[in-house]
Amino acid sequence: MNTAVIRRLLAVGQGDGLRAQLVRGAMGVGGLKLLSLPLTLTTSILLARALGPQGYGQYAFVMAVIALLALPIGPGLGQLVTREVARYHHGEDWSLFRGLLRRAHQWILLGSVVMIGAVAIVAGHNAAWAVDDRWTLLFMASLMLPLLGLNALRSHTLRGLRHVFQAQLPELLARPAFHLVFAGVLLVGGALTPATALGSQIAATGLAFLLGAWLLARYWPAQVKVADPDYRHGEWARALLPFTLMAAVSTLNAQIGILALGWLGTDEDVAVLQVAQQGALLVVLSMTIVNLVIGPHITRAHREGDKARLQQLSRQSSRAALAVALPIALAFILLGKPILLFVYGEAYAATVTWPLAILAFGQLVNVAFGSVGTFLTMSGYERDTLTGQIIALVVNGAAAVALIPFLGVIGAAIAVTTGLLTWNVVLAAKFVQRFQLRPTAL
């Protein structure tokens, strides 16, 4: 980005208009995610090239399974904690604040022990206890579960306390940075295997946990330390189930292609889809940043009944995201093979080209539909969003089971794209029904 563009952004970001607010928000909230992207992408490239398609496929599949196992103790619980911490902090209800965090820690530790035990039992009957054995790797990775749960708890607690930047710092910057350093050292030492790559991930997660614990201690309200804990077990348990369901549906929609290929295809197929999905995520990065920025503006405009502002938000944010996404998607669709050859090498160039093109097209259409999910969720229609996710998951799963046996990784890419398009069509219809507005960038 040249200095003229930077000066223009700074100029546009001044003032009180909608465009100025969006630019300031994007530069602040999106900055951390933009810093995280090169770290994550560099690590992905390093692992993919060093481990090869088979080894990288094993690593990617195991990490997808771990993301699934972490749902009850990670994202689902975290969303509940964010909401309740914000409420108790605002109402100065320090006893419930302390009681919630105590029970959350106990739930994470108990759930982790149960899941690690279950994985150990299954692995004990199936593992070959070798560095390239899937069950051995899964048992090893399961040791990360308590760290993932505790990291999510600290992050969501800080969000509830309105320290959003500090909440994201360990997961978005520290963890990928440590993982990249550890993996690089292993590569230089000639010791990088799927097992040591998982070891690097576990060590990085542990260090991110320590940073998160230190940050939370800095911002921990002094009143909580002296409060006697109070509990609302029934209320928390009832709220945890829908939060976990929403997190599960979202995670499955993101991981079902990898999981289905892991069971129905080969490790090499998993690696191909993982590389393609990571590339396609660059297409939707602009929309991800936009969604982080416009949420509070949507809530305020909806409460005020300002449809003109809602339409302006929808159109401006969608067009801005599409303007960034379009050239990236076209590059992957038209020049995917030479890009892959340069970045990932010959082992991936031929096999990833078509899946990348399919997924890039799907994500481009996703961006063109606009932030329909964010508009519905931030306006109180989260059930509509969940309905769309469930329908998309069913379509995605059915298409994966039907297409993967015949088309392999291309079938998985088609299934993922079909689910994504279904999600957008359903949510766009709900958007029109709820707001009587046009959701797309057009």
pLDDT above 70 covers a percentage of the chain that reads 92
- pLDDT (0 to 100) of residue 211: 95
- Do 246 and 183 have their domain in common? no
Q: Where is average pLDDT lowest: 46-50, 101-105, 142-146, 429-433?
A: 429-433
Q: In this structure, is residue 23 part of a structural domain?
A: no
Please tell me the predicted confidence (pLDDT) of residue 30: 62
pLDDT value for 383: 82
The CA distances from residue 420 to 203, 358, 363, 373, in Å, are 34, 12, 8, 12
Write down the pTM of the prediction: 0.85
The answer to whether 78 touches 156, Cβ cutoff 8 Å, is yes
**Backbone φ and ψ of 371, nearest 5°:** -85, 55
Are residues 210 and 301 part of one domain?
A: no
Structure confidence at residue 309 (pLDDT):
85
d(Cα 411, Cα 229) in Å, to the nearest integer?
A: 52
In a domain, 14, yes or no: no
Asked whether residue 130 falls in the same domain as residue 163, the answer is yes
> Closest Cα to residue 253, out of 415, 132, 57, 370?
415
Same domain, yes or no: 305 and 211 = no
Q: Which residues contact 347 (CB under 8 A, 6 or more apart)?
A: 49, 52, 53
Reported as a pLDDT band with limits 50, 70 and 90, residue 189 is very high
195, 216, 231 - which closes a domain: 231
In this structure, are 248 and 128 located in the same domain?
no
In a domain, 8, yes or no: no
Confidence of residue 83 (pLDDT cuts 50, 70, 90): confident
pLDDT above 90 for 225:
no
What dihedral angle (degrees, nearest 10) is formed by the CA atoms of 393, 337, 340, 344? Answer: 110
Q: Does residue 311 share a domain with residue 162?
A: no
Give domain status of residue 6, yes or no.
Answer: no
Question: Do 73 and 177 share a domain, yes or no?
Answer: yes
C-alpha span between 144 and 140 (Å, rounded): 8
Least confident of 107-116, 189-198, 260-269, 281-290: 281-290
* Residues, the chain: 442
Domain boundary among 231, 254, 281: 231
Do 226 and 249 belong together in one domain?
no
**Structural domain count of the chain:** 2
Banded model confidence at residue 417, pLDDT cuts 50, 70, 90 = very high
239 or 190: whose pLDDT is higher? 190
Instruction: Concatenate the DSSP letters of all residues of 45-61 into one string.
Output: HHHHHHHHHHHHHHHHH
Q: Is residue 59 in some structural domain?
A: yes
Q: Where are the beta strands (DSSP E) in 32-164?
A: none
User: What confidence score (pLDDT) does residue 6 get?
Assistant: 45
Domain that holds residue 276: 233-442
pLDDT number for residue 439: 75
Structure token digits, residue 284: 């939707």
Token pair, residue 245, equals: 């369901």
Same domain, 239 and 280: yes
Is residue 268 within 8 Å of 57, Cβ to Cβ? yes
Residues 398 and 379 in one domain: yes
Is 245 found in the same domain as 105? no
pLDDT at 372 over 70: yes
Last residue of a domain, one of 231, 262, 279: 231
With respect to residue 9, please indicate whether it lies within any of the assigned structural domains.
Answer: no
Alpha helices per DSSP H over 265-381:
267-303, 307-343, 346-369, 372-378
- Whether 237 and 221 map to the same domain: the answer is no
3 in a structural domain: no
Instruction: Note whether residue 43 is domain-resident.
Output: yes
What pLDDT is recorded for position 441? 64
**What's the whole-number mean pLDDT along residues 129-138?**
84
